[in-house]
Amino acid sequence: MRVVIVGGGITGLSAAYFLERAMTEGRWRGEIVLIERATRLGGKILTVREDGFVVEGGPDSILRVKPEGMALLRELGLEEEVITPGSRTVYRLHRGQLVPIPEALLALRPDPRAILRTRGLPWWGRIRALLEPWIPPRRDEGDEPLAAFLRRRFGRAFAEDIAEPLTAGIHAGDPERLSTQALYPHLLALERQFGSIARGLRGVGPFPPSDPLFVSLRSGMGALVDRLVASLQRTHIRMGRTVIGLALSGEGNARRYRVALEDGETLEADRVVLTVPAMEAARQIAAFAPATAARLREIPFASPVVVTLAFRRDQVAHPLQGSGFLVPRKVPFPLTGCTWISSKWPGRAPEEFVLLRAFLREEGNREAIEEEDSVLIQRSMEALRPLLGLHGDPVRAWVHRWPQGMPQYTVGHLERLQAIEEAFRAFPGLLLTGASYRGIGIPDLIRQAREAVTRLLSAHEIGRPDPLTATCGEDRPSAEEIIR
Ligand SMILES: Cc1cc2nc3c(=O)[nH]c(=O)nc-3n(C[C@H](O)[C@H](O)[C@H](O)COP(=O)(O)OP(=O)(O)OC[C@H]3O[C@@H](n4cnc5c(N)ncnc54)[C@H](O)[C@@H]3O)c2cc1C
């Protein structure tokens, strides 16, 4: 049996890893081929190491509380590489000043003391947020825009100043369009089950937890890719090859797939795991499933641009005691946020330098992705100069563009997915997974890859179900289970 995995980002590499593991455990035998368009592996995970600087073009951290990420780091022997943030304080831009966000609020835990301590939030905004336990839950079970959900629960001031930047901000998205159901199902579940988020979380563990929410790797997230690739002993990896389309042959359980590459080569496959972004997956299935391809194309994407700047310490007046700042949507500013990389993570810059990572705002500035590097660097610097007291030009700068790089789970995303997944049932052995569907974070993608492999093995009765994916739980999960 030959399995072809399309895409060599974290999802595709993890799928190859779990398939190899099934092979090692004697649960499966076959050939694995991984096809990657680029001449490097890792997809959005991209670490540049230059002259003592460790610069992340894409992700710079892993959410620790989702177990799949940490489990894979352990299995790959990367525990020693794990680093934790040097400072956890996150600021927000308010009337031209950077004001700290109380730590308890970073995980959207509406702790009354933290709400009362929130600087720059009007008194009526604080009182409205404190009333959250008494706001009746919504009766409608349908999806709701994230912004509407946050306003409904916490009131406009808290939602716009605190909750939106912490949620929609990390998705580079518009909270008026993003789906609460798809992105924050645990908040909805707390509301439904306990009538309120604050009430649901009452008594759940100490907060802020002593362990940090996020971790990273000493030599950058690229180390995860390097280690994962090094662990793949039996996968035939073909880089610099583009899949342009799939074709069907055979019927039912004897269904096979022909994978066409841009250079004219065709591969026969018994199973195909598509881990590419939705619009690419659409192109690949368009010949035999045009309606499903059209639904895949409905998933919109944002195009983040990240500018990383290195300065000598003496060029920066601000003490940078924190991990960075976020910018609420209503504040006119060219950036959505900035991470103070050299304060957040140890070892990212030589001692005498600081490293800043600016996220360009896409909204109303759609051409950012098209602009020259020099323009983007200048724009970031001018925005940061008065806030951080920057003197002179950066000693180095890196620009990373991700055209159509960030899937947007907009309202109705889960229904769209349901229809797509339903349609895929007609194609046994063809699996669709990756950041466009059920979670964009690295631990989510490792989980999705593992689940895809479990489906791939169990759908054809060739393996035991993976005990790790067996779900257990009571009819009414506890708040601990919900937030986990
Ligand atoms: C700027 C930025 C910051 C982020 N920060 C974080 C963070 O801190 N923490 C976190 O957990 N997540 C973060 N994310 C999200 C996370 O990085 C991504 O969701 C994840 O890396 C996507 O992995 P993937 O394997 O699903 O897709 P990708 O990484 O997109 O991989 C898909 C691969 O398929 C290949 N491909 C595409 N088309 C074809 C084709 N036709 N034939 C062959 N190959 C093809 C591509 O070249 C690519 O390598 C961030 C993302 C961005 C852009």
DSSP characters for 279-323? HHHHHHHTTT-HHHHHHHHTS-EE--EEEEEEEEGGGB-S---SS
For the residues of 76-96, what is the DSSP string, one character each? TT-GGGEE--S---EEEEETT
Q: At 304, give phi and psi (nearest 5°).
A: -65, 145
What pLDDT shows up at residue 480? 59
The CATH code belonging to domain 101-204 is 1.10.3110.10
What pLDDT shows up at residue 465? 35
Protein residue whose Cα sits closest to atom 41 of ligand 1: 243
Mean pLDDT of 182-198: 92
Atom of ligand 1 nearest to the CA of 13: 25
Tell me the CA–centroid distance for residue 371 and ligand 1, in Å: 22
The owner of tokens 């991990």 is 323
Task: Find the helix or strand (DSSP H, E) in which 266 lies.
Answer: strand 266-269
Instruction: Give the separation between CA 166 and CA 183, rounded to whole angstroms.
Output: 12
Same fold, 2-43+222-299+409-469 and 47-87+301-406: no
User: Mean pLDDT, the chain, as a whole number?
Assistant: 91
Tell me the CA–centroid distance for residue 438 and ligand 1, in Å: 13
Instruction: Give the separation between CA 264 and CA 286, rounded to whole angstroms.
Output: 18
pLDDT at 247 > cutoff 50: yes
User: What would the pLDDT profile of 277-318 be if each residue is shown by its tens digit?
Assistant: 999 999 999 999 999 999 999 999 999 999 999 999 999 999
Protein residue whose Cα sits closest to atom 2 of ligand 1: 58
Which pLDDT band, with edges at 50, 70 and 90, does 384 fall under?
very high
Q: At 113, give phi and psi (nearest 5°).
A: -65, -40
The owner of tokens 């073909």 is 238
pLDDT at 469 > cutoff 70: no
Please enumerate in sequence order all residues whose Cβ is within 8 A of that of 144, keeping only pairs 6 or more positions apart, or say none.
138, 152, 179, 180, 181, 411
What pLDDT shows up at residue 99? 96
Q: At 420, give phi and psi (nearest 5°).
A: -65, -45
Protein residue whose Cα sits closest to atom 30 of ligand 1: 43
Atom of ligand 1 nearest to the CA of 11: 25
Give the binding-site residues of ligand 1, using a 6 Å CB cut-off: 6-12, 35-38, 43-45, 58-62, 242-243, 275-277, 280, 304, 306, 402, 405-406, 434-435, 440-442, 445
What is the amino acid identity at position 71? A
Domain ranges of the chain: 2-43+222-299+409-469, 47-87+301-406, 101-204
Tell me the CA–centroid distance for residue 65 and ligand 1, in Å: 21
- DSSP letter at 162 equals I
Beta bridge partners of 34: 5, 237
User: What would the pLDDT profile of 161-183 be if each residue is shown by its tens digit?
Assistant: 999 999 887 788 899 999 999 99
**CATH architecture of structural domain 47-87+301-406:** Alpha-Beta Complex (3.90)
Instruction: Give the separation between CA 47 and CA 69, rounded to whole angstroms.
Output: 18
User: What would the pLDDT profile of 134-169 be if each residue is shown by its tens digit?
Assistant: 999 998 889 999 999 999 999 999 999 999 999 887
What pLDDT shows up at residue 472? 28
pLDDT at 409 > cutoff 50: yes
User: What would the pLDDT profile of 257-282 be if each residue is shown by its tens digit?
Assistant: 999 999 999 999 999 999 999 999 99
Tell me the CA–centroid distance for residue 411 and ligand 1, in Å: 22
User: What would the pLDDT profile of 19-75 be if each residue is shown by its tens digit?
Assistant: 999 999 999 999 999 999 999 999 999 999 999 999 999 999 999 988 999 999 999
What pLDDT shows up at residue 184? 92
Task: Find the helix or strand (DSSP H, E) in which 256 lies.
Answer: strand 256-261
**CATH architecture of structural domain 2-43+222-299+409-469:** 3-Layer(bba) Sandwich (3.50)
Residue from 11, 44, 398 whose mutation best tests the ligand 1 pocket (most atoms within 8 A of CB): 44
Tell me the CA–centroid distance for residue 11 and ligand 1, in Å: 8
